[in-house]
Structures are given as C-alpha cells and as structure tokens.
Amino acid sequence: MKHVAVDDAEAPADIAELIRSARVAIFRSNLTDTRGLIAHLDREGVGYREVTMGMGSSAERDRFHRLRDWTEWPLLPQVFIDGAFVGGADEAIASLRGSG
C-alpha cells in the first residue's frame, strides 16, 4: 500500500479538503458496507465524515479516479485517519485499535 497523506504535494485539493474535515474520512460508494467501521467509530467516540463517491456523472467518476490514482488503492472504502491513508475498513479498525 502506498503511503499518502493529506499534506502531500500531489494530494488533490478538493479531496484533501474533505480529509481535513474530520479525524476519520471514509470515501465510499452507495454499495460500500461500512457498518462495522461506523459502529466501531461510534462506540469509540471517534469523529468521522463519510463521503459518497457516486458514479452517476463524469465529475463524480473523475473524483473517484483521482482518489484511486493518488492512493493506488483500487477499491472503496478508502479511509484516512488524521490525514493519512490507512487502507479500507478492516485496516482502519486495526489502525484505530493500535492507536488506543
């Protein structure tokens, strides 16, 4: 997995702004099951923002492609914690458990 963070020079500005808006930023589709991750965040009292990456328009598809190209992670969800990309839902839960 490629290490990327919100302060990287190649971070897409619009995506970086969304990442900065919460401790945990979750990029998902309408079909992405994030219930386990959301339950964990709620249980632990961790603030988060979900960003739905629709594919209905060319602009929405472009935003997903820019995120995917930046992180080199082909799937959703893509989760950022404290501005750093950690992977998908399972990786995010593991990272949060490790950070206390």
- Residue 98: strand, helix, or coil: helix
Please give the Cα distance from 99 to 14 (Å, whole number). 27
* Angle, helices 89-98/35-44, rounded to nearest 10 degrees: 20
Which DSSP state fits 25? E
Q: Does the pTM of the predicted model rise above 0.85?
A: yes
Q: What is the pLDDT of residue 54?
A: 86
- Residue 49: strand, helix, or coil: strand
**Where do the domains of the chain lie, and which CATH numbers do they carry?**
13-98 (3.40.30.10)
Give tens-digit pLDDT for 43-62.
Answer: 999 999 999 998 888 998 99
Confidence of residue 99 (pLDDT cuts 50, 70, 90): low
